[in-house]
Structure 1
Amino acid sequence: MEIHLKIIGVLLILLALVHAIFPKYFNWKEELKSLSLVNQQMMSIHTFFIALIVFLMGVLCLTSTHELVETKLGKTISMGFAVFWSVRLIFQFLGYSSKLWKGKAFETIVHISFSGLWIYLSAVFWMNYLN
């Protein structure tokens, strides 16, 4: 289990860092122009804080692996992470329209890859909590 939590730690840190390219990749400067200033800024600020919490989850998995596996608090944290990533998995299918990826090779690969990542994260955290 510890090796999986270490792998997850690295993956989550990488995922957090990928958030840095979102504004440019998704052309937020142009795409968000029609929004009010508060909504434009909320997009940027919320993206930053999502990236921060994902980064901190990754750091916790890397630096406190043994505690996550062996302590009651670690199991409770794992349960919280399991719920978080399980809900994220559900939103992968219910929150995004299939029109965004169906029939598009790159977008389909991204959709499938992230679905697999959310499944892996959810499964490892649930297994750690339940064992």
Structure 2
Amino acid sequence: MKTIIFCCGLYSIAFAIFHILFWRLFNWKKELEKLDFTNRGIVQILNTRIIYFFLFVAYICFVYPDELLTSNLGKTFLTGISLFWLGRTIEQFVFLKVNNKYVHILTAIFVIGTILFALPLMFNK
């Protein structure tokens, strides 16, 4: 199960890197200019905070795998992160077009996150 926790950390780092690349991938220098000052700032603040969050999750996974597997706090943390990814999966269908191939790919990746963080809870009794 420690290997799964380690994979959860790698998964989180991958998403931190993905979000770091948002400025380039989504041409934010040009695209965010279309928003007013406040909304432009909010989008960027939310993105930088989610980068921090993913790095924090990775840190917890790498440094405290035993605690995640054995303590009530660790199990609650894993449950919360699994639910985060489940919610993110559902939001794909609420906020984005479901006929886009990239949306489908991301949806599958979010489902993987849901399962990945839930696996230690299901098989570490």
- Which bracket does the TM-score occupy, shorter chain normalised? 0.7 to 0.9
Mark the runs of 5 or more structure 1 residues left unpaired by the alignment.
102-107
- Residue 117 (1) aligns with residue 109 (2): yes
2:22 and 2:57 map into 1 onto residues whose CA distance is 20
How many equivalent pairs are there?
123
- Kindly tell me: are residues 52 and 7 of structure 1, through their superposed partners in 2, closer, same or farther at Cα, counting changes over 3 Å? same
Show CA shifts across 1:1-33 (max 9, x none). Answer: 221110120121121022122112211122122
Tell me the percent identity: 25
Task: Give the TM-score of the pair, scaled to structure 2.
Answer: 0.86
Cross-structure match for 2:27: 27
Mark the runs of 5 or more structure 2 residues left unpaired by the alignment.
none
1:4 and 1:95 map into 2 onto residues whose CA distance is 30
Cross-structure match for 2:37: 37
Show CA shifts across 1:12-64 (max 9, x none). Answer: 11210221221122111221222111111111111000111011111111111
- What is the alpha-carbon root mean square deviation over aligned residues? 1.7
